[in-house]
Structure 1
Amino acid sequence: MKKRILFVCLGNICRSPAAEEILRQTARRNGAEELLTVDSAGTYGGHAGDLPDARMRSAAARRGYMLTHRARRITEADFERFDMIVVMDDMNYEAVHRLAPSRRNAEKIFRMREFFSRHPQWSYVPDPYYEGHEGFELVLDMLEDGCEGILDYIRNPDRS
């Protein structure tokens, strides 16, 4: 049975659409794309319908990721559509947790940091929107690390 995963950040134009495509490609490279369905959303709806930030698209493209997702806001219905909701930072965690229609649904919320192996010093994925080129590269490094951890979690749920 496929795991349905939703990544969430603030505007759904940097971190979460990048995580969506990174996980999709990580699964494909590892012969596991049949194990998951992936999407992304934001806690803020002001960018709804927009492509990801041009700087993120550019940084991601240099690594072979094409970001074509259109931004959308997370809804209460997403708690029924997805098995895991993975947030990028504590602000997103709090906003998504408040939206959860039940405690059972709130148990679907994870922080991306829970899946890091190479970035244990970070307790969140920083928003690169106000950063320079290095900020986008750091976020992509972190997302690649976390997505590998998510894929491992999906394949080996008893090890967590």
Structure 2
Amino acid sequence: MAQGIFRHLVAEAGLTGRFTIDSAGTGGWHEGEPPDRRSIATAKSHGIDISGQRAHRICSSDLGISILAMGRDNVAALETIASPEATIRLFGDIALGTGEDIPDPYYGGPAGFELVYTRLLTGCSSLLEALGTERASCSGNTSSVR
């Protein structure tokens, strides 16, 4: 959902050409598959279409950019494979300022997906505000890892 939310906010702000936005997993369990149907439904209820997204595993070409991981376990996994110049940060630190992990709502009900949507929207909005101000004249790269 983070990819779709951030892409939507960037488009609304008229900044589409300034960012490369992608989402990748640290594992390849769902490669090629669309997001969970509940993620699609939650995003759609807020006017965001993520149905065209497909899961893929993070690869070495992704590791030289700024990466925002959704959980500490992802940060740890990425730090073992990333190049020294990669910037890996926890989404909860950089976008929310809370240090929280974004929970995986997979095993819960609709309320969990709505909670994750709300946290991601809050964080993505803050992130865009910060990046739009800091990088008004250059291009930025943002990636989320679930």
1:109 aligned onto 2:88: yes
1:124 deviates by 1.1
Which among 95, 98, 118 is matched to residue 77 of structure 2?
Answer: 95
Identical aligned pairs, as a percentage? 33
1:34 deviates by 2.3
1:71 aligned onto 2:55: yes
1:19 deviates by 0.7
Which among 125, 129, 132 is matched to residue 155 of structure 1?
Answer: 132
Task: Report the equivalent of 2:109.
Answer: 132
**How big is each residue's C-alpha offset from its partner over 1:45-93, in whole Å with a ceiling of 9 and x where there is no partner?**
010010100111111111111111111001122123xx32111010111
Superposed, which structure 2 residues align to 1:30-45 within 5 Å? 30-45=13-28
Quick one: which amino acid aligns to residue 123 of structure 1? Answer: E
1:142 aligned onto 2:122: no
1:156 deviates by 2.6
Q: Take 1:156 and 1:36, find their aligned partners in 2: how far apart are those partners?
A: 13
Q: Take 2:20 and 2:61, find their aligned partners in 1: how far apart are those partners?
A: 16
User: What secondary structure is seen at the aligned counterpart in 1 of 2:85?
Assistant: helix
Q: Take 2:101 and 2:133, find their aligned partners in 1: how far apart are those partners?
A: 23
1:157 deviates by 3.0
The runs of at least 4 consecutive aligned structure 1 residues that moved more than 6 Å come to: none
Q: Take 1:100 and 1:116, find their aligned partners in 2: how far apart are those partners?
A: 24
Q: Take 1:148 and 1:84, find their aligned partners in 2: how far apart are those partners?
A: 17
The aligned length equals 133
Quick one: which amino acid aligns to residue 15 of structure 2? Answer: A
The normalised TM-score by structure 2 is: 0.84
The normalised TM-score by structure 1 is: 0.77
RMSD, matched Cα: 1.6
Q: Which has the higher contact order (CA 8 A, sep 6+)?
A: 2
1:110 deviates by 1.6
User: What secondary structure is seen at the aligned counterpart in 1 of 2:63?
Assistant: helix
